[in-house]
């Protein structure tokens, strides 16, 4: 049986082209791997955000390096990397007469069968993996929260809404992006289980549930350094500028924000506020 064949009475194998399933996964990965925040860092501030702040390529580090007013656009772009492949697959599945719900069978080989919900989760996972391990950056990526949110917003909208509310509440109280992301990931898992119980692992919900659990584990793993800083009381809060992590920049003894835009060789005062990117 050909890869990408839909198994449903009355449908023929040609409704998904041979190899199309792999193309969907590859396209989702390549889209997810685009480092929008890194690109914005070059365009807006002329800096490589990997050399400043936390060194992460995500929207939060861009905001700390270039200014928090750029956070929404970077967040939206990362969110779109996850949502667009999901919407595209939903449209393709419907055009092939395999709706996302209820699930229909999709063959990925002679002995493995996935329904269209399962494959939707795989498409979303491919986009998330692209952000976490982008081929364009030698597989050194971000933390995946915004891209993962884009994926689950299409796959499980109500649990995602509750997770977003949890993120907003925690961020409003603590002003820690990392703690908010950890709380939102846990909320998503609990909300998905509660919303789908007792059919949490049924064919229509199993992929979304497993993706929520896997995503939560990845969020914890990718935030392990943040967890340490939270425990030690050194984690930066929303609105605070970056403290550079570049080895050529010494720590500021006065606790002032660094000038992330100036090269170490310039000989200028890197803590001079007048040169910090806006």
**Which CA distances in Å does 140 have to 79, 91, 197?**
19, 31, 37
Cα separation, 156 vs 151, in Å, equals: 9
Residue 266 has pLDDT above 80, yes or no: no
What would the pLDDT profile of 59-79 be if each residue is shown by its tens digit?
989 998 988 899 999 999 999
What is the rounded average pLDDT of the residues 121-133? 96
Domain layout of the chain by residue ranges:
12-254
pTM: 0.76
What are the E-state strand segments in 65-167?
A: 105-107, 113-115
Residue 269 has pLDDT above 70, yes or no: no
Q: What is the DSSP letter of 114?
A: E
What would the pLDDT profile of 84-124 be if each residue is shown by its tens digit?
999 999 888 877 654 343 444 454 443 345 677 888 999 99
71-95 and 20-32 helices, crossing angle to 10°: 170
Cα separation, 90 vs 117, in Å, equals: 9
Under a CB-based contact definition with an 8 Å cutoff, are residues 89 and 119 in contact? Answer: yes
Query: Pick the residue with more confidence: 270 or 187?
Result: 187
Under a CB-based contact definition with an 8 Å cutoff, are residues 174 and 180 in contact? Answer: yes
**Which CA distances in Å does 128 have to 43, 64, 99, 121, 217?**
24, 23, 23, 10, 13
Segment 131-135 long-range contacts (CB within 8 Å, at least 24 positions apart): 131/32, 131/33, 131/78, 131/81, 131/82, 132/218, 132/222, 133/33, 134/32, 134/33, 134/34, 134/35, 135/29, 135/30, 135/33
Under a CB-based contact definition with an 8 Å cutoff, are residues 262 and 275 in contact? Answer: yes
């Amino acid at each position: 049986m050909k890869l990408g064949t839909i198994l449903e009475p009355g449908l023929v194998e040609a409704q998904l082209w041979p190899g199309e399933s792999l193309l969907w996964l590859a396209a989702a990965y390549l889209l997810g791997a685009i480092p929008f925040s890194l690109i914005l860092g070059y365009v807006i501030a002329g800096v490589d955000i990997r050399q400043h702040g936390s060194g992460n390529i995500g929207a939060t580090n861009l905001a700390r390096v270039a200014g928090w007013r750029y956070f929404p656009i970077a967040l939206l772009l990362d969110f779109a990397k996850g949502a667009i492949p999901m919407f595209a697959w939903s449209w393709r599945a419907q055009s092939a007469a395999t709706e996302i719900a209820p699930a229909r069978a999709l063959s990925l080989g002679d002995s493995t069968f996935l329904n269209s919900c399962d494959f939707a989760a795989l498409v979303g996972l491919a986009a998330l993996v692209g952000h976490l391990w982008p081929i364009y950056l030698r597989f050194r990526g971000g933390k995946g929260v915004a891209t993962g949110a884009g994926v689950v917003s299409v796959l499980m909208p109500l649990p995602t809404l509750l997770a977003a509310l949890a993120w907003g509440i925690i961020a409003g109280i603590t002003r820690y992006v990392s703690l908010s992301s950890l709380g939102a990931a846990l909320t998503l898992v609990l909300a998905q289980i509660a919303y789908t119980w007792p059919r949490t692992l049924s064919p229509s919900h199993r992929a979304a549930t497993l993706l929520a659990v896997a995503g939560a584990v990845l969020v914890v793993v990718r935030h392990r350094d943040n967890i340490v800083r939270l425990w030690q009381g050194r984690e930066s809060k929303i609105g605070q500028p970056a403290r550079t992590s570049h080895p050529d920049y010494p720590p500021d003894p006065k606790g002032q924000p660094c000038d992330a835009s100036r090269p170490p060789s310039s000989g200028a005062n890197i803590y001079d506020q007048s040169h910090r990117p806006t």
